[in-house]
Amino acid sequence: MTMHDCDANHGGHDPLAKSMSTFLHLDSTSTTSSDLKEALSEILERFQTDQRYRNDERYLKLWMRYADLSDDADKVFLLLKSEGIGTQLSLFWAAWAYVLEMAEAYERVALIIAEGRAWGAQPVSLFEEFLRSFHERMLERMRMVGLDSRISEVKEEIDLASTRSSEQAMLRAKQSQTAAHAQREHAPDQPNISEREPIEGIENFCTGGGGACGSRCRPVDAPLGARDVNSHDGAALRRQECSTRNRPDRLPRPRVETDKKATIATAIATLICNPFSPDMRRRLTTNTAQYLCWASSSSIVYDTRLDSLARVCPRRMAKVNVGSRRPVALARSLGNQRINVLGVLGEGAFAVVFSCKFNKDQRDVAVKVEYKEDAPSLPWECFITLQLSERLLHRRQRKVHSVTEAPITVVKPEALFLYRDGCAMAMPVGLAGTLHDLVAQYSKRAQAVPQLVAMHYAVEMLRFCRAMHSASILHMDIKPDNWLLVRRPRSEVDRTEEMEHAGGIDHSVSLIDFGRAIDLSVFPQNGSDMAFMGQCCAPSFSCPAMREGLAWKHDADLYALGSCMYFMLHGVYLEVSREREDDSTLNRSGRWRPVKNCKRYWEVDLWDKIFSELLNSDYRAADTAGNNEALLRLEESLTSYLNVDHRSRDLKDCLRRQDNMFSNR
């Protein structure tokens, strides 16, 4: 029975509906694939030029069924895209992304979804649901890869032992194999990806319960009209079914491949999550606030959520700056602490930093007040700063006999006050302001920061970032305003006396404002196989990957670090360009470099090396501690330059003049 004979038995004014009814009838009764191939190809060819059905979901599902029968489903979707068929439907892009996922082309999945968004495909919610479920499946794959890789290593050990005819080595390997298999046996069942439908739109279409993508199908040889889809070895979309019944004769569903660790890691680093999405930040900060109230002593965290921050510290207090001709001393209560508010140190969109003095001991403190009812970031900032301090202390204790590394100074919060409409956090006040203030003070005198001073602070900044990344924390808001000029404790100054150029120098810097920080320790393997997407930094401090919507990790912090060093040297924000191969051709893979060159009497080669490394860091080439070896080499290069006796003396003279400059401002 031909298609025309079948169509004649159905009435109606929608020719596609009649054809689909015919196809479904054949699909439910056919015992071979030849009738299905012929029928489906004829339908697709007949309506391929009909504008009414270009973005008709029914017609798209027929194409998806064709992709199911094809050896190369990816080419089918490429053809549809070129013809403009289904491109306004998010189901088209989600199905294509699923095909790529099952073909293990993980790095293309997020790109296809992003392209679908750019086309304005609807509904958008389908994209979000797919990405969420894809992320879950990728994390599950990574977990299973960790188990199977151990078994694979043990098998290799057995083979090696057999080759060397070493009975003792063979015995150890077999014991390891038994342990690895026992671990696998007690682990949850290995996931079958198609058992959990990733997106509702595809689930409604795929009611046939077919096998997962990646199953092998015979190609469809029938032409599609003017343009044929070439078929060759590849993954097919087995689970896209037009049938409304289960088919017990399907091929077994393939299990997740376990020997593709590098590929899966790349996939996770391509999809990733946006750590700055409103939903994630809301969950993060709310959970952190609840945890701090439960885990911290009352001397650190004060749960005053029955009170209003607007009543205790109204924002109108921010009108008077510190150092103005009309200083104020407003008595206020934060929790059980009485303070005097002296003025304002800084102000942002959601927060104000006040200069205050505790009445109890007359200590000067900076109180950061965040007027934000929904997801304030101060609880997270308080928590992650304390975590950084604890992790570095633990690391230092493990290396108690090591004298190769100077400790860094972490500005820890002294108290956190939680209100129903915001938060307030007290922290030590800097002795001389921030790195931005340093540059401003020299600019007022028509001067630039001396190169020796810039090098000294560059060493301190590199050391801080290296320690922070080794503690599995990304700052994500590195800028001159967040580098606080601090003094090392006397014990640390004594420790560095015989170590480096900084012997006897207590001038240092410390990063503050960890409200956007990412804790990599919450991800599998300390985030070694993770990366992120999203925009969080000001343009001058955003790495190229972030600006271009690509994945990033430690490179976001390192680029911002290089930008801060550039600002310290030149007094202006960084502008970059790609290196050119010649005068006319822009090398798209060229390295980024500052537009403005270093002054010729500076150590040009050294600064070029620093900027080249920091501005072109790639998270894919970095180790789990954020390419710390590269940072250590830069730090050693700067320290070697400063260690010369006369330069060390000149540096101390420059820092003494700097102290006088700040005391007289």
Q: Which residues are annotated as a binding site?
A: 368
DSSP calls for 293-358: HHHS-TTTEEE-TTS-HHHHS-GGGGGSBTTSSS---EEEEETTEEEEEEEEEEE-SSEEEEEEEE
Q: What are the distances in angstroms from CA 521 to CA 3, 134, 266?
A: 60, 21, 19
Please say whether the beta carbons of 427 and 512 come within 8 A: yes
**The two three-digit tokens of residue 468, written as one number:** 């922070």
Please say whether the beta carbons of 509 and 466 come within 8 A: no
Sign of CA dihedral 472, 475, 476, 480: negative
DSSP calls for 24-88: HHHHHH-SSHHHHHHHHHHHHHHHTT-GGGTT-HHHHHHHHHHHHHSS-HHHHHHHHHHHTSSTT
CA–CA separation, 163 and 160 (whole Å): 5
Question: Which is nearest to 514 in space by CA: 351, 653, 382, 373?
Answer: 382
Binding-site residue set for ATP:
368
CA–CA separation, 425 and 73 (whole Å): 56
Give one word for 309, left, alpha or beta, with left for phi > 0 and alpha for psi -120 to 50: alpha
CA–CA separation, 379 and 290 (whole Å): 9
Please say whether the beta carbons of 405 and 280 come within 8 A: no
CA–CA separation, 650 and 642 (whole Å): 10
Alpha helices in 500-627 (DSSP H): 544-547, 554-570, 604-615
**H or E element, residue 455:** helix 451-470
Alpha-carbon torsion, ordered 296, 299, 303, 306, to 10 deg: 170
CA–CA separation, 609 and 613 (whole Å): 6
> In terms of C-beta density within 10 A (0-12 exposed, 13-18 middle, 19 or more buried), how is residue 487 classed?
middle
> In terms of C-beta density within 10 A (0-12 exposed, 13-18 middle, 19 or more buried), how is residue 85 classed?
buried
3-state helix, strand, coil in the chain (%, to 5): 50, 10, 40
**H or E element, residue 657:** helix 645-663
Please say whether the beta carbons of 213 and 238 come within 8 A: yes
The angle at the Cα of 266, spanning 278 to 587, to the nearest 5 degrees, equals 95
> In terms of C-beta density within 10 A (0-12 exposed, 13-18 middle, 19 or more buried), how is residue 58 classed?
middle
Please say whether the beta carbons of 231 and 220 come within 8 A: yes
Q: What are the distances in angstroms from CA 543 to CA 272, 457, 592, 618?
A: 17, 21, 10, 10
For residue 605, the number of C-alpha atoms closer than 13 Å in the C-beta half-sphere is: 2
Q: Which phi and psi angles does 96 have, rounded to 5°?
A: -60, -45
Residue with tokens 């508010």: 341
